[in-house]
Structure 1
């Protein structure tokens, strides 16, 4: 019996066993499977679950028993099966193949092209692991799962019955592989951010413990806090250099900006006195001056800041400081396409109710359309931070953007 193994795309043709109606139904089912899986992958944070579900849905979409995801391991230059569907115990997580042309998946990895084998029984060019014969595998398709710095690995469909795969099958698998590539990139970014958050939690724990010993440990606190923040910022900067997609870069830059804002909270606190409270008015003026220096450019954008004395708990200062940094940076980045304008920041205590204060951040730029539930332009983050300090955040966009954040000024012990 002849074999059909190719590393190049095959002609677009219908499978002879399907009539037109069945073919259309098959294609619609496959398109729906890709769309449904894409939604699942975006919601799921566990990469292993994403890979396992991809194997299951791919096998179901092509009406076969077996599917696997192979991850490239550069240290050993092989492909390890990290997820799969239909295999006996001992295959997933254990079986490897060389990352070269001696296997269907190796060839797809090396060439970057789909590897289609309709009948392995008459093929002598591959050195297949024993589990192929144990499961009676006859036909395979392999497609590359791309990555940022190098390919992640290979997605492979396996059948114990001879198949006649066509270009639509390759397109179906390639769609899944592209979703998996983005899921892998997201998982890598998430791992970095989780490490950052874990370090920040440790930092906060250090802060609380050392503040109780403020007079004795002031110098140690200052040293450790600043060093830890520098470490976190350095991690984010290195990750930014290794991230090529625009969405990932925006996310990492936003986290880095918030870390920098937190560092200023500590600088302001340590530069004054070691207490649980600080004057938010003085701090926000210092923060705006720093943001203006960071954004220094030929663009003629003027940033002004004025504030009453407002004594707040350190946690409230931190949250509101991030709000200021987010909105001022957003105005610099998006409000002035012609390169000129003004940004005003003000903090005022309510003259009729001293227990409340209002912060207004406005620009005279091009504004933006506010859509219900939108998370663009910082809407989601700003409102969450306002809720965190038991306040409210409203935005108006007419002749520019104006944010109004109202928050309580609680009596706090120094």
Structure 2
């Protein structure tokens, strides 16, 4: 295996491992700092920082990081304009790469970077919902030519951070309840995950032996379905009433798992989420989780296979009806073409099981809408 393949494999493994950690019940600051350490070790750079955009101050706070002098993390800030590579990325809406900051003409170099001897920098935007949370940046004290694979790695990590931030915000309202049930939850999760994890491990082992062909594809699909069901079991004890599950939190965590699993194909994927709290029964959550899994798998396979794109997920309700929509901005499909595939048959079957209605539209991307009555 040549150096490029080894580097790519190391980056994919790091993202997968971090994705598992980021979607567990850890404090947000721990997740952010772990991301910085992971990126520093994987890219071999001395400094990494997570910058949080503060619109009221028009600056970027060093929320987490590695390699910086004492007192920088949590206190230092740089301008959210053309004063820095991160500010330039935030304004342009695109990742920024500068292999030689001394020759940079697009933006100024902040004192924070010069004081630490940074000579090269690359970053990616962290998005939370429809807004930017901030910037994830890798800084090198030696001249460094960041590759396209390096940028994809940073964007993949930034995507996972965005999911972790969304999950943190959704779960804040339930923080006190989770604390009371923490010990019991760990025990329950340990027991209910044992069999599923064993099955996943066996399938993963088989995946390494079946690198190509229909067997490999089928195993990957089956693994994500088992993971979706295993995650549901963990959620049965997160709500005050174990017969009702917060669908928004469950879907957000499931999306994080799927993005992590498909990280080897993530290229500039934007996740747009707008989820309101809707409580459903375990059987409804199971069906909707499996539908989400099938749709995301198909989006990564067909919609995002070339140059990336946007995955939009919405959950809303009125007094009588809940509406769940998941859509991508890929090429879509012609009505009547490909509607008999296994993925659609499974989604239709899952939706019928819970007495919901399904609408699938294939123009201007693929959009799936599920509606069901609230009880």
Higher relative contact order (CA 8 A, sep 6+): 2
TM-score normalised by structure 1 residue count: 0.45
Structure-2-length-normalised TM-score? 0.50
